[in-house]
Amino acid sequence: MHPEALSEQIYSKKSFLCVGLDPDPEKLPICLKSQDPAEGIIAFNQHIIEATLPYAVAYKPNFAFYESLGSIGYSVLEETLKCIPPNVMVIADAKRGDIGNTSAMYAKAVFDRPGVDAITVAPYMGKDSVMPFLSFKNKWVFLLALTSNPGAQDFQFLTSNEKPLHEWVIQKSLEWSKEGEGHLGFVAGATHPEDIPRLRTLAPKSFFLVPGIGAQGGEMEPVIRHLAPRVLINVGRQILYASSGADYAEAAEKEARNIWEGFKLYYNW
């Protein structure tokens, strides 16, 4: 996907919403739990996608939720991806990263699936672990920079030569991306509002994928003020499990619309 195609979605829908497709079998609406597990999750994902598509510019299936289903997980994901139109970005939230030849296998495994436009990648192993993903033309890498979870405090703020680790990650990887044919963005949690302006300065032109709003407690205002319009704001649980009843799709639609209306408060389209 070309950056202009993503921007076109953002402007035409007036939205930064990325919906996290993380179907937890235990949290499925009761009416779906009685079905065959794979069919229940596929139906759930389809209905969530249909309900949120007017507001969503991207979908982000987290691979952990599909892998935990065992052998059916692969086809559940395939069927889910079929429901997403090609002009809407699909981000494989897989947080991969390994030595060069192995990252190349992961890149193939992820980007060969029809419809996948982007992958999240972990930076710890450095350049040769990231380049195989960045070498795919018009595919995207969202590299973990400053994550939304409490554990972000453990290593990501360690300071070397007056720069915290996540700044090293952003600056070095922007150098690498010049050698690739893909596009490089960064994961930055909304749980770090005081750091967001600095991140935009470090990567003025990059898209940011921002988790942490909703269930994790991050706020939308500083994210949009400093990162828009090149930002994707991920919301998962808050939309997916807005209702555990038969009205889960309507409830998801309402929740997505509420978030979408929030965008208008902070961004002047």
Residues 6+ apart with CB under 8 A from 58: 6, 9, 17, 18, 19, 88, 89, 90, 91, 232
| 13/172 with CB nearer a second copy | 172
- Cis, peptide link before residue 229, omega less than 30° from 0: yes
**Which residues from 91-120 bind a second copy, rule CB under 8 A?**
93, 95-100, 102-103, 105-106, 108-109, 112
Per rule CB under 8 A, count of chain residues that contact a second copy: 56
Q: Supply 121's token pair.
A: 């990648």
Scanning 37-45, 165-173, 198-206, 247-255 for contacts with a second copy by CB under 8 A, the matching segment is 165-173
Asked if residue 123 binds a second copy (CB under 8 A), the reply is yes
Residues 6 or more apart in contact with residue 109 via CB below 8 angstroms: none
Between residue 132 and residue 151, which ones bind a second copy under the rule CB under 8 A?
A: 144, 147-151
Strand 118-121 vs strand 56-61: parallel, antiparallel, or unpaired? unpaired
Write the interaction track for a second copy spanning residues 14-43; mark x where CB under 8 A is met and - where it is not: --------x-x-------------------
- Closest contact distance (angstroms) between CB of 255 and a second copy is 19
Ranges of H-type helices in 150-190: 152-155, 165-177
95 belongs to the catalytic site: yes
Residues 182-241 that bind a second copy (CB under 8 A): 211, 216
Q: Which residues, in sequence order, are bridge partners of residue 118?
A: 91, 140
Which region, left, alpha or beta, applies to residue 214 given φ > 0 means left and ψ of -120 to 50 means alpha? left
264: region left, alpha or beta (phi > 0 left; psi from -120 to 50 alpha): alpha
Q: Which of 16, 44, 55, 65 binds a second copy (CB under 8 A)?
A: 65
Q: To the nearest whole angstrom, how small is the minimum distance from the Cβ of residue 100 to a second copy?
A: 6
Q: Which residues bind a second copy (CB under 8 A)?
A: 22, 24, 62, 64-65, 67-68, 70-71, 73-75, 78, 93, 95-100, 102-103, 105-106, 108-109, 112, 122-130, 144, 147-156, 158-160, 165, 168-169, 172, 211, 216
Active site residues: 95
